[in-house]
Every structure is written in C-alpha cells, then in structure tokens.
Amino acid sequence: MKSRESDKIFGALESFRIEIPSWGFANTGTRFGKFLQPAAATSIEEKFSDAGQVHLLTGICPTLALHVLWDFPQGVTSTPAVEKLASQYGVQPGSINPNVFEEQCYKYGSFGNPDKSVRERALRHTKDSIEIACELRSRDISMWFADGSNYPGTANIRQRKQWFVECLKASHAELAAGQRLLMEYKPFEPAFYHTDIADWGMALLLARAAGPQAKVLVDTGHHYSSQNIEQIVAWLLSEEMLGGFHFNDRRYADDDLTMGSIDPYQVFRIFNEILYFEWEMGKRADIAYMIDQSHNLKGKIEAMIQTVKMAQELYSKAALLDHAQLAEVQKNAELVRAESLLQDAFATDVRPVIQEWRASKGLPLDPMEALRQSGYLQRITKDRAERNARSITSYA
C-alpha cells in the first residue's frame, strides 16, 4: 500500500471510536429462551470489567452504553457506584438508555399509552434517566419505544402521535446544554400492526418537534429488507439530523447479528456517505457510533471484539476513497469509474495498516488472540459459572 493510503487510514483511525452496550455482556436470548453462558456478566461491575477488556485490547471503545432499568437498580442513587466502576475499569459511561417497554404498565404503550397516568410514569422515568445522564456527564439519551398496536382499528394513531410530541417536548426541556435526545425508529416488533415511530421520517418529525437537541438514531437492523440505508443516512446528514448509529447486521428482520457478518458492503457504503459529507463540508459529522448487539450463541467478549475489528476495517476502507475524484466522476457521469472507486476501496486489504496503527499505540496486533492468551476468559468462566448455571429461564 502506498504511504499516502496508509496516512489516510492512520488519520481515520486516530478519531474513530465506537461505543459498546452493557447488555452485550449479559445473558440474553430470543423470545423462545436463553442459552446461558458460564462467562456472562450478571452485575454492572462484571459488565464494566468485560467492557474494560474490550477497550484495553482494541483501544477504541472508551465508553459503555448503559440501560437504566438493568444497570441502575436504584435509579439515580446508583450513579456514584457506576462512576466508581467506570474509573476502576477504565471505561466511561456512554449513552443512557431509558426503559419504557418492560414493565407491566406499558402493555399498551408508554408515551403513546391512552392512559394518562402511564404516559406520566414513562415521562418521569425519562426525566430520571436524563438526571442520571447529567450526573454521569453522559451526552446522549437514547430513546427506543416499543409502542404500537397489533390489530387494525385498535389505536388512535394521530392521537398517539400528539402524545409523543407532548412527552418528547417535556423530555427535551430537561436536557442540559450539550446533551442530546436520540430518537430511534423501528418498523415492527414487538408491535405487528403499527409502530408509533416506524421509520426515519417519523423519527425526524418527532425529533424536530421535540427541540433542537433531538436527533435521529439509525439502528441498521430496523429497516425493511433491501431498504437503502445509506440513502437515509445521506438525507439525515444533509438535514443535520443524524445523531448516531446502532450497528448490527441482519438477514431477515431485526436479527442483531454481528456487524458486517451478512453485508459488510452496506456498512462500507454508510461510512462512505458520512466521509463524503465530511469531505464536502470540511468538518466532522457529530455522530455517535454505537453497537447494539447481544449475542445468544457466540462468546460475548469475543463477539464484541470481532465487531469492533470489523467496524475499524470497514471505516478504514471507506477512508481510502478519494472524494475529490469521486465528485469529479459523478459530475461527468462516468458511471463505471465512479462505482469502481467504491469497489476498489472496499476490496483493499486494510488489515496490515490497522496492525501498524495498533503497534504505534502499543496495542496488541491481534486483539482477539490477545484476549485468548490473556487468561481473562478462563478466569471469569471459573468465577461466574456457578451463578450463571443457577439462573433459571423459561419462555412459558
């Protein structure tokens, strides 16, 4: 590889960071059941410890996304303990994820629930979550709603939209300066007739209604099959409304498979749109790159390192593209040359340069191998196996 290309990759890697989720280290499963893993994390301390390993070995995961219901059992009073764990394990609290979908009261929705007292409860939880974020100096509050309905005629869709606007405005009013409210969308599941925030257009309208610190979050698994996600990304960028990503891959629906495991070219095309935008505007796009995956079958820490490596490779490939040249051939409608620029960058093996970058940072050349050699997996398997085996789980 030419040194100019290596320089491009080094430049891109210098600032590329990706956030990992606390729930990615816990025992989770499908709706049919969980396969328990002996090394899974069952406490917030174990989640921080595992995330600390991923950051130690990759050097690019300094923050951990936290889930209010699962990681803050005592709400805001749990924050000093979380702060202590953050400094102990060298990973800072990242985005704060409220949970308004799990409790019994949310059977018919949260911000869209026809019962005012339930909407108020969901709003109170969101405000508490924002307070937690303030205490922890977390910037992003990441909102995902399971709200929707299963049968035609059972929900007043327009009324629910209005309730969402009201609750989101009230949530936005609690944000500190610099904080952001990220609005995630999803076409279906758990609701199977209508979902209140079903696509990027609805998320965009609601974000605009909520206030200037609200942006859209794109979860790559939350689209219909064959949807052109990079086009959505390009539109949100041009509207200055792209706040962040939840990366994962899919074959059928919201499968939460490992990023790039099914269609790495799609992730490359998304990164390309972002880097093309940044080149054209001469500034960085303010985007939170996050992973939203929780593996049921793969080893959790290994799966996370595999994902982070993949993200770094696909981002590096996109960074190779010569955007001045791309703009030129697009202008001249040189179709094959334009497409080939993408294909050539995608086909380039960037792994040797990434290894050089890791060496320059004193990081292990192969983080996966380093994990296997470290003895960490053996140690946590031994320490946690008994507790995990006792965790009984059943679908019905």
CA–CA distance, 90 with 86 (Å, rounded to integer) = 6
Among 86-94, 113-121, 240-248, 374-382, the segment contacting Mn ion (CB under 5 A): 240-248
- 219 near Mn ion (CB under 5 A): yes
CA angle 389, 26, 186 (to 5 degrees): 135
The dihedrals phi and psi of 69, each to the nearest 5 degrees, come to: -70, -35
Q: Which of 88, 85, 105, 99 is nearest to 23 (CA)?
A: 99
Among 38-46, 232-240, 249-257, 286-294, the segment contacting Mn ion (CB under 5 A): 286-294
Provide the minimum distance between the beta carbon of 333 and Mn ion in the complex, in angstroms, as a whole number.
38
The dihedrals phi and psi of 239, each to the nearest 5 degrees, come to: -90, 0
Among 80-88, 161-169, 289-297, 359-367, the segment contacting Mn ion (CB under 5 A): 289-297
Provide the minimum distance between the beta carbon of 237 and Mn ion in the complex, in angstroms, as a whole number.
19
Provide the minimum distance between the beta carbon of 223 and Mn ion in the complex, in angstroms, as a whole number.
12
Provide the minimum distance between the beta carbon of 288 and Mn ion in the complex, in angstroms, as a whole number.
12
Provide the minimum distance between the beta carbon of 184 and Mn ion in the complex, in angstroms, as a whole number.
6
CA angle 307, 313, 314 (to 5 degrees): 90
Binders in 75-114 for Mn ion, by CB under 5 A: none
- 19 near Mn ion (CB under 5 A): no
Which helix (H) or strand (E) element contains residue 216? strand 214-219
Provide the minimum distance between the beta carbon of 91 and Mn ion in the complex, in angstroms, as a whole number.
20
Peptide bond into 190 cis (omega under 30): yes
Residue type at 259? M
Q: Which is nearer to Mn ion, 25 or 276 (CB)?
A: 25
Q: Which is nearer to Mn ion, 46 or 292 (CB)?
A: 292
- 186 near Mn ion (CB under 5 A): no
Q: Which is nearer to Mn ion, 147 or 219 (CB)?
A: 219
Q: Which is nearer to Mn ion, 249 or 292 (CB)?
A: 292
Instruction: Write the Ramachandran bin of 52: left for phi over 0, alpha for psi from -120 to 50, otherwise beta.
Output: alpha
Q: Cβ contacts of residue 22 below 8 Å, gap of 6+?
A: 44, 47, 48, 51, 64, 65, 66, 67, 70, 71
**Out of 67, 125, 194, 246, the residue judged to bind Mn ion by CB under 5 A:** 246
- 292 near Mn ion (CB under 5 A): yes
Q: Which is nearer to Mn ion, 168 or 319 (CB)?
A: 168
> How many chain residues touch Mn ion (CB under 5 A)?
3
CA–CA distance, 241 with 287 (Å, rounded to integer) = 10
Provide the minimum distance between the beta carbon of 221 and Mn ion in the complex, in angstroms, as a whole number.
7
Q: Cβ contacts of residue 369 below 8 Å, gap of 6+?
A: none
Q: Which is nearer to Mn ion, 63 or 79 (CB)?
A: 63
Under 8 Å between Cβ of 186 and 198 = yes
- 249 near Mn ion (CB under 5 A): no
Q: Would you tell me which residues interact with Mn ion (CB under 5 A)?
A: 219, 246, 292
